[in-house]
Structure 1
Amino acid sequence: MNRIFKPGGLALISFSNRCFFTKVISIWTSTGDADHALIVGSYFHYAGGYEPPQAVDISPNPGRSDPMYVVYSRKLPVA
């Protein structure tokens, strides 16, 4: 993403707690939703060149429906 995003480009990564257990990294199955947002946010942090990531819960009926989350960040201007 870092290579193709222009400065100011917005990257959004959405996810729920549904997954194929054989297809995800092991830390995903051993942590909860808040930790999942931290894991995704750390991808932006450690890639470098992005604003601090933000996370939002966009679940249609929190607590009564499947959860849905978005972690997003903007690419910083080239220094």
Structure 2
Amino acid sequence: VDNYTENVPIWMVNRPRDIYTGEKKHLFGTEVLTTLDEDVNLMRKIRCYRGIRHETGQKVRGQRTKSTGRTGTTVGVRRKKD
């Protein structure tokens, strides 16, 4: 497990280029979630496009948003008063 990145091709590694060090890494267990959170927080901090989309809760990877993914508050139908 220690030299996993040396024995596999780069396309099998789940972090091919680290943001901070530039080396290829393969993360296991809870490291995956913590580094993902750190990456999202960095994107929010530097105010890049993806970070802003994460902040506002919108789609990040270019999906369409006009008709799909409509979650949240719903508008109900009111009955006519007699």
> What's the TM-score once normalised by structure 1's chain length?
0.28
Larger RCO, structures 1/2 (Cα 8 Å, 6+ apart): 1
> What's the TM-score once normalised by structure 2's chain length?
0.27
Structure label with greater radius of gyration: 2
Structure in which a larger fraction of residues adopt strand:
1
Structure in which a larger fraction of residues adopt helix:
2
